Structure 1
């Protein structure tokens, strides 16, 4: 994935959403450090600033190692928590107070992180945890708790999430 082309597509998708544009610009720039250890060393001060500004001041955990396709949209980014192992497809939408990551298994180890398809619209206060796969063109309603795979082209709501 080309970080620069993703940057411009993110900016276009977040038109009129200045906070989302700033967050995603900083996120994509921080992702440059993933390409080579030398780049990471050169960007170490920026990476520290990214961590402090995004996580501490804006209240968003979006690690630079998170894999996100082009056209990511973040609305009202407050209290957004994304694990670095999460994989997003293209044109996904994230809203506030959403948690996406692994879960702790009975033996104390961690599960794999969710893999989210293309054009997934994730509502506010959603939890997606564990080794789940979210299909393409899925809408996840506000407050849903997703703990099982979701097929393509459907809408899910509730706790636990169910297809409607």
Structure 2
């Protein structure tokens, strides 16, 4: 009885943290009724936390059924076996997939169409582990049994296949570390990411212009 009461208290505590973080991170949230009725990410997390509790009790079918219902209602698929911390915000949410052995730290921010998935049919731990305050941009894929450190930002559309140390920004396909920083920063500034490809292209263009100028000088000297 004591274990059940403790689990129920923990469930309410986590749901409360998920609810409160929305006001902190979404300027569009004006009223608590909006969150209760109009935020699919919050709905998916509420159902997940109930399903995860049942899953932890060794119940097989009902947790998966709740997960399926949550997917049908919200477009967000969270396996009941995943381990998710408190204060999680799934923004917009449509298309988000979180695998069975994924671990998500506290106060992470996940945007629509992001995937925390596996890379094959291996058993055991096969999904990523995210630290605290990680931001996963829209359409990003974090795949395999890898570790993403605290306060990492994964750029929109990136595919991350290797471990990333804390306080880094990762962009591209495959994901590459393009900057590291200290301090927490603002998790909502996920769009303000370095343009590694753009810098490389500009560097090549500048080098090409320099070579063209040198060739032109050599041709003029021959005349």
Q: Give the TM-score category using the shorter length.
A: 0.7 to 0.9
1:137–1:153: 8 Å Cα contact kept in structure 2?
yes
Number of equivalent positions: 156
Q: Paired residue for 1:112?
A: 126
What's the RMSD between the two structures over aligned residues? 2.2
Residue 12 (str. 1) matches residue 20 (str. 2): yes
TM-score normalised by length of structure 1: 0.85
Q: Point out where structure 1 has 5 or more consecutive residues left out of the alignment.
A: none
TM-score normalised by length of structure 2: 0.64
| Closer, same or farther: CA 8–115 of 1 in aligned 2, 3 Å | same
Alpha-carbon offset, residue 74 of structure 1: 0.3
Specify which structure has the higher proportion of helix: 2
Alpha-carbon offset, residue 32 of structure 1: 2.1
Q: Paired residue for 2:89?
A: 73
Alpha-carbon offset, residue 51 of structure 1: 3.0
Determine the C-alpha separation between the residues in 1 that align with 2:43 and 2:73: 13
Alpha-carbon offset, residue 47 of structure 1: 5.8
Determine the C-alpha separation between the residues in 2 that align with 1:19 and 1:55: 10
1:99–1:126: 8 Å Cα contact kept in structure 2?
yes
Q: Paired residue for 2:55?
A: 34
**Of the two structures, which has the highest relative contact order with CA contacts closer than 8 Å and spacing of 6 or more?**
1
Determine the C-alpha separation between the residues in 1 that align with 2:122 and 2:52: 27
Q: Paired residue for 1:89?
A: 105
Determine the C-alpha separation between the residues in 1 that align with 2:45 and 2:112: 15
Larger radius of gyration: 2
| Structure 1 runs (4+) greater than 4 angstroms displaced | none
Give CA-to-partner distance per residue, 1:61-107, whole Å, 9 cap, x none: 10121100111110111111111110001101111111111112xxx
| Secondary structure, counterpart of 2:116 in structure 1 | strand
1:54-65 to 2 correspondence within 5 Å? 54-65=70-81
Give CA-to-partner distance per residue, 1:111-130, whole Å, 9 cap, x none: 72111100000000101111
